[in-house]
């Protein structure tokens, strides 16, 4: 698969974890009046919301011309989930710091 064929999916996975996952997690903590969740709690809640996007990740048909992109999406999804839990997603870590510092 050429890089240009997966460009849009790459950009989506660059943004979705913090635009969807961390944003929804932040609101969840705010509505529950938890101004100081642990970093691990924030990561787990972010992942919980991110996983709600899985129907979109799995939306391409099981057809030969989609095999490569589906394989890439699955691989990238697993990498993003792992990086998030390990604290290796810098945007998620920034969102956490911002939330606990400014609530």
Q: How many helices (H) and strands (E) does the chain have?
A: 6, 0
| Nearest Cα residue to 68 out of 6, 13, 7 | 6
Q: How confident is the model at residue 1 (pLDDT cuts 50, 70, 90)?
A: low
Delimit the domains of the chain by residue range: 3-102
What's the pTM? 0.92
pLDDT digits 0-9 by tens, 38-72:
999 999 999 999 999 999 999 999 999 999 999 99
Report the C-alpha gap between 84 and 25 in whole angstroms. 13
């Amino acid at each position: 698969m050429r890089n240009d064929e997966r460009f849009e999916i790459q950009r989506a996975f660059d943004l979705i974890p913090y635009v969807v996952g961390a944003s929804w997690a932040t609101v969840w903590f705010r509505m529950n009046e938890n101004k100081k969740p642990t970093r691990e709690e924030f990561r787990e809640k972010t992942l919980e919301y991110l996983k709600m996007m899985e129907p979109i990740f799995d939306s391409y048909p099981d057809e030969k011309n989609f095999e490569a992109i589906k394989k890439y999406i699955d691989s990238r999804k697993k990498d993003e989930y792992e990086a998030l839990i390990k604290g290796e997603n810098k945007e998620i870590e920034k969102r956490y710091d911002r939330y606990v510092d400014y609530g």
